[in-house]
Chains A and B, each alone.
Chain A
Amino acid sequence: MKNKIVTLGIESSCDETAAAVVLDGRKLLSNIISTQIPIHQKYGGVVPEIASRKHITSIMPVIDEALCKAEINLEHIDEIAVTYGPGLQGALLVGLSAAKALAFATDKPLIGVNHLEGHIFANFLSEPSLEPPFVSLVVSGGHTSLVEVEDYNKFSLMGETRDDAAGEAFDKVARVMGLPYPGGPEIDKLAKKGNPMAIDFPKALRNNGDYDFSFSGLKSAVLNYLNQKKLKKEDVNKADVAASFQEAVVEILTEKAMKAMERRRMNTLVLAGGVAANSALGERLKTEAKKRNYRYISPTLNLCTDNAAMIACRGYFQAREGHYSDLYLNAEPGLSLVY
């Protein structure tokens, strides 16, 4: 029985301030990200040093724009979903504070959403026909996990990283190689010109029988390789290093994802998180899934990076099960996927 529920989503966990309006959990009425609105034009786009100051400036314009684009007013909103973690504390608190105050002022219920779950749910917006159950590989800057999504509010964590997240490994290797931040897209770009088979970097925990990951060994291996070359005064083919490193990450992520799919007898694999934008990973997962006749879903680009639509979507489903938050909801920067 559809009731026409309108969810306002608010997201400020990292670099983007975002707001969105979603109807009945799946229909996107608006999806606004602060970089779309020229508030800080004066500084020529995002100036990373003051990114966390940007949130307090952008929060109301972004919410207002989201409502305008959806052609509704606050009074038409039924509930307010907001990211409470993980992320940067100073950033999270802006969206959270605004959301709580809005909930109080409008007497609408508040729903605290886990940003990582939001990434998984971005796929429900990208792909209208998608329904649970499925396995999701979540790869973001700070997290790498394999989650079995049994139902809209029922998850189990199959495996996660024991040390560095994949995104973190990308950033650290990029930094050591002298590439700018963020490292993921830079390595992705550079790797296209290199040979992924040039160097055989280790793929940890490959055959240990579970679905956990470990990337700190890989990171150390790349570091050692670069150091050795430097000591011997030998030239380094950066493109080859990037390609080989990326290959090691992509291979282990794909292998474990396929194993998980088989184990849980699933036929749909869903990719989630900011690293989902990595082309090599997407390609490999798509290819391997196809080989095994699995359905493979990944979010469209605008829903891949941080956004509030995915938060509204996740919030909607949480609310249907009665998982609301009270006005004491606090930011949890270190929140992860624990079930």
Chain B
Amino acid sequence: MLVLALETSSKVSSVAVAEENRLLAEITSESKLTHSKTLVAHIEKVLDLANKDKKELDAVAVSLGPGSFTGLRIGLAAAKAIAYALNIKIYGAPTLQSLAYHFAVPNLRVVSLMDAQKGMVYREHYKFNGGKLQIIEPLSVVSVEEARREVLSKDEDAVLLGEKAAKVYEGIDKGKIFLAPFYERMPRGALIARYAFQHFENEDNLMTLEPLYVRRSEAEELWEKRHG
């Protein structure tokens, strides 16, 4: 299966072309706040680099969030349009889970930390069992201090990933906590492709696929309260 993977949930913009066991090409850059100018141009380039025609694609995978609302929508809109036009499968890959594939190794607590603004972070903890990702602390929004305290309280070997990893790592007395080097903790198209391959049976519906916002709008909460 040939997959085009898009990652636009943060300041890092990344597109990749991959097969199950091979990354053919990837363009990853830390860009300005909006990816709107470059995403589709990069998609064209990366296919060129991979020496593949778009008609050879079997699926498109896209980072679903949580993250920058604007970035997520740009990526998702492009992914849906491509899936529709080429009549191929679409996979939505949760951003934090996909990041974890940087360290798909046993006996290690993997912690993804992405910016949720106002001093808060999106955080989720994982362990890999027989190569399969398991969520051991489900996704939530907490303060940087809380994220730090939590990781320390587990008293286990752990690796920190994501754009907020360095911030959370500040003031930690090393010990069992390891800050992944910058190239191994950033979002990448390759990881979104990996997520898709790990979940290839669960394709999504391009008509209804939505970003993972996590921080829900008050309206939704109000609606849900009123309708029970």
How many residue pairs at the A-B interface have CB separations less than 8 Å? 108
Category for how many chain B residues contact A = 35 or more
Report the bound CA distance from A265 to B44 in whole Å. 50
> B40 and A97: CB pair below 8 A?
yes
- Say yes or no: A43-B223 contact (C-beta < 8 A), given A55-B73, A330-B36: yes
Report the bound CA distance from A20 to B162 in whole Å. 41
> A53 and B36: CB pair below 8 A?
no
CB-defined contacts of B85 to chain A, threshold 8 Å: 74, 101-102, 105-106
Select which of B36, B76, B81 is within 8 A of A331 by beta carbon. Answer: B36
> B40 and A57: CB pair below 8 A?
no
Category for how many chain A residues contact B = 35 or more
A318 to chain B, nearest CB (A): 20
CB-defined contacts of B40 to chain A, threshold 8 Å: 97, 100-101, 103-104, 327
A94 to chain B, nearest CB (A): 5
B79 to chain A, nearest CB (A): 8
Q: Which of A94-120 contact B (CB under 8 A)?
A: 94-106
> A94 and B77: CB pair below 8 A?
yes
> B69 and A90: CB pair below 8 A?
yes
In the complex, the chain A residue whose C-beta lies closest to that of B220 is A50
A223 in contact (CB, < 8 A): no
Report the bound CA distance from A136 to B40 in whole Å. 36
- Say yes or no: A102-B70 contact (C-beta < 8 A), given A53-B217, A330-B36: no
> A104 and B44: CB pair below 8 A?
yes
> A53 and B78: CB pair below 8 A?
no
Report the bound CA distance from A96 to B75 in whole Å. 11
A61 in contact (CB, < 8 A): yes
The 8 A CB mask of B34-76 against A (1 = contact, 0 = none) is 1011111101100000000010000000000000011001111
> A90 and B206: CB pair below 8 A?
no
Identify 6 residue pairs between A and B in the complex whose beta-carbon atoms are under 8 Å apart, listed by A's number. A49-B218, A93-B74, A101-B81, A105-B81, A328-B38, A330-B37
